[in-house]
């Protein structure tokens, strides 16, 4: 009984102790929670401060980026403007420009280059070279080049390498100049100089030569009258007259080539004029039946100097006959041209040797022992006075050989005469400065 009584109070105190422990635990937990909340609050405040700082920095960076983007946009716009300006300049210049990359491929070409070379942009870009280009071998000299379109042009080509910063190679540029017009103008100037010199000479000697020529011709005619009809003296007198007539013809041709640039313009039918010229040539031939004259083409009315044009056509037809001493066909075609007429004379002779083409219109140049070398020079002069052109063309071309006609394989001269304005007096100043003579268009 005693043991039972002594143990009862110890068990009676356990709930009180448990309450005390729970209270301590609650206080500890509360303190920990308060510490955690304080720590969380501090971390949150730090995070908010960091976020604020990041936002401020982001705003600064965004502002800097906006400013940089705006500046970059302005630079890009300026570069585009400069590029467009340079492209416009490159397109507008009359000189051809070809740009190569470091591998020697063509990456850019302006319109002038395409026109000069006779190619399209598609044909040119990405290739190494085409007809008419020299690349780094370009030496700046005038060179005749047959371009891709089949036209022969006189080109001057220059090449310069391109380097970027630091001297690094970046390709090259080839510049092309078409000097064809300049060369032709220079040739025309030389011809005019020769014509002027011939005029000075002709004017100085015509009077001095013609006076004694007339005397010689007069005495030769007297010898013919006084001598027997078939005597030796008569034959000599006839030869003297023939020689005098030949000299007179040369002097007259010289004066015609070097004469004043004045035209007596009238309106007439070009085909009728051609027929008159052909009849005049045949009337001078001992055996006119040897040549078959073929006159084709519609009637064409033109305003020009009838006398000069008839003489020009007469010379062309006479040359066609002389090219066939034993006879042969001669085709004379009259074709309406833009603001004028083209008269084409074609023969079946041996043609013009290539080595003589550049000189056939020079005064006194001839390949025949009995020729004077004045015929084509006079024809060219008539073309120049009218502002026209005399061309040596391919005789077998489809344009010059009408359907159903047999092609002729000899020389083919085309004389194009623009119609002239008739003044009140019927006189018209010639236009040699606008004339074009191209004896080698074949």
The alpha helices in 227-329, defined as continuous H runs, are 232-257, 270-283, 306-322
Report percent pLDDT > 70 for the chain. Answer: 79
Would you report the helix, strand and coil content of the chain in percent, each value rounded to 5? 50, 20, 25
Q: What is the pLDDT of residues 349-368, one digit of tens each?
A: 888 887 877 777 776 677 77
Query: Among candidates 288, 284, 313, which has minimal Cα distance to 300?
Result: 313
pLDDT of amino acid 30: 80
Distance in angstroms (rounded) separating the CA atoms of residues 106 and 178: 20
Closest CA to 159 of 129, 130, 139: 139
pLDDT recorded at residue 399: 43
**Residues 395, 408 contacting (CB under 8 angstroms):** yes
Contact present, 413 and 382 (Cβ < 8 Å): no
Q: Which has the higher per-residue pLDDT, 102 or 226?
A: 102
Q: How confident is the model at residue 195 (pLDDT cuts 50, 70, 90)?
A: low
Q: What angle do CA 93, 96, 97 make, to 5 degrees?
A: 95
Higher per-residue confidence, 216 vs 194:
216
**In the prediction, which pLDDT does 274 show?**
92
Q: At what angle do helices 306-322 and 270-283 cross, to 10 degrees?
A: 50
Asked if residue 287 has pLDDT above 70, the reply is yes
Higher pLDDT, 381 or 422: 381
For residue 11, what pLDDT is reported?
47
Residue 438, CA distances (Å) to 114, 142, 414 in order: 24, 19, 10
What is the pLDDT at residue 207? Answer: 67
Per-residue pLDDT, 203: 67
pLDDT of the residue at 342: 92
Percent of the chain residues topping a pLDDT of 90: 9
Cα 413 from Cα 320, distance rounded (Å): 9
Mean pLDDT of 48-57: 89
Of the CA atoms within 13 Å of residue 269, those in its CB half-sphere come to: 7
**Residue 398 pLDDT:** 42
Phi-psi region of 346 (alpha: psi -120 to 50; beta: other; left: phi over 0): beta
Q: What is the mean pLDDT of the chain?
A: 79
Tell me, what's the pLDDT at 243? 79
- 232: helix, strand or coil: helix
Once rounded to an integer, what is the mean pLDDT over residues 395-419?
70
Q: What is the mean pLDDT of residues 326-333?
A: 91
d(CA 320, CA 291): 10
* Residue that wins the pLDDT comparison between 6 and 104: 104
| Start-to-end CA span in the chain (Å) | 155
Residue 279 CA, chain-centre distance (Å), reads 41
- Whether residue 345 has pLDDT greater than 90: yes
Q: Which residues pair with 335 in a beta bridge?
A: 342
Determine contact, residues 108/162, Cβ cutoff 8 Å.
no
Write the pLDDT tens digit of every residue in 68-88. 998 998 898 888 888 888 778
pLDDT category at 441 given cuts 50, 70, 90 is very low
What's the predicted TM-score (pTM) here?
0.52
User: Residue 148 CA to chain centroid, in angstroms?
Assistant: 12
Length of the chain: 442
Q: Per residue in 117-137, pLDDT tens? A: 888 888 888 877 777 787 888
* 8 against 184, higher pLDDT: 184
Average pLDDT of 377-400?
76
Q: What is the phi/psi pair of residue 416, to 5°?
A: -105, 125
Cβ(121)–Cβ(160) under 8 Å?
A: no
**Maximum C-alpha span of the chain:** 210
Least confident of 64-68, 219-223, 387-391: 219-223
Given this model, what pLDDT does residue 6 score? Answer: 47
Q: How confident is the model at residue 286 (pLDDT cuts 50, 70, 90)?
A: confident
User: Which residues lie closer than 8 Å to 357 by C-beta, 6 or more apart?
Assistant: 392, 439, 440, 442
Asked if 221 and 244 count as a contact pair (C-beta separation under 8 A), the reply is: no
């Amino acid at each position: 009984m005693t043991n039972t009584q002594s143990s009862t109070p110890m068990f009676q105190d356990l709930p009180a102790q448990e309450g005390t422990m729970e209270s301590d635990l609650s206080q500890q937990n509360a303190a920990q929670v308060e510490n955690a909340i304080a720590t969380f609050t501090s971390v949150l405040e730090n995070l908010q401060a960091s976020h604020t700082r990041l936002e401020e920095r982001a705003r600064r960076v965004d502002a800097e980026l906006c400013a940089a983007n705006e500046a970059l946009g302005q630079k890009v716009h300026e570069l585009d403007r400069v590029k467009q300006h340079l492209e416009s300049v490159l397109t507008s210049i009359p000189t051809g420009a070809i740009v190569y990359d470091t591998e020697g491929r063509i990456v850019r070409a302006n319109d002038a280059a395409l026109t000069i070379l006779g190619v399209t942009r598609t044909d040119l870009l990405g290739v190494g070279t085409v007809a008419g280009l020299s690349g780094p071998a370009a030496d700046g000299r005038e060179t005749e080049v047959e371009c891709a379109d089949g036209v022969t042009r006189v080109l001057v080509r220059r090449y310069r390498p391109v380097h970027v910063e630091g001297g690094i190679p970046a390709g090259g540029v080839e510049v092309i100049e078409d000097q064809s017009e300049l060369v032709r103008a220079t040739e025309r100037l030389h011809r005019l100089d020769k014509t002027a010199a011939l005029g000075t000479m002709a004017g100085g000697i015509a009077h001095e030569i013609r006076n004694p020529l007339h005397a010689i011709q007069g005495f030769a005619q007297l010898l013919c009258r006084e001598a027997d009809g078939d005597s030796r003296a008569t034959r000599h007198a006839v030869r003297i007259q023939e020689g005098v007539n030949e000299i007179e013809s040369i002097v007259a041709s010289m004066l015609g080539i070097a004469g004043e640039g004045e035209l007596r313009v009238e309106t007439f039918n070009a085909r009728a004029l051609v027929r008159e010229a052909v009849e005049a040539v045949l009337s001078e031939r001992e055996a006119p039946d040897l040549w078959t004259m073929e006159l084709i083409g519609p009637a064409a009315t033109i305003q020009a100097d009838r006398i000069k044009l008839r003489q020009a056509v007469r010379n062309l037809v006479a040359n066609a006959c002389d090219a066939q001493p034993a006879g042969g066909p001669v085709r004379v075609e009259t074709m309406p041209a833009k603001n004028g007429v083209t008269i084409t004379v074609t023969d079946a002779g041996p043609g013009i040797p290539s080595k003589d083409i550049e000189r056939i219109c020079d005064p006194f140049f001839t390949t025949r022992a009995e020729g004077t070398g004045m015929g084509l020079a006079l024809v060219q002069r008539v073309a120049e006075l009218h502002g026209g052109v005399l061309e040596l063309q391919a005789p077998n071309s489809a344009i010059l050989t009408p359907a159903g006609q047999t092609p002729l394989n000899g020389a083919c001269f085309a004389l194009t005469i623009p119609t002239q304005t008739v003044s009140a007096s019927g006189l018209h100043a010639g236009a040699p400065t606008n004339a074009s003579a191209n004896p080698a268009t074949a």
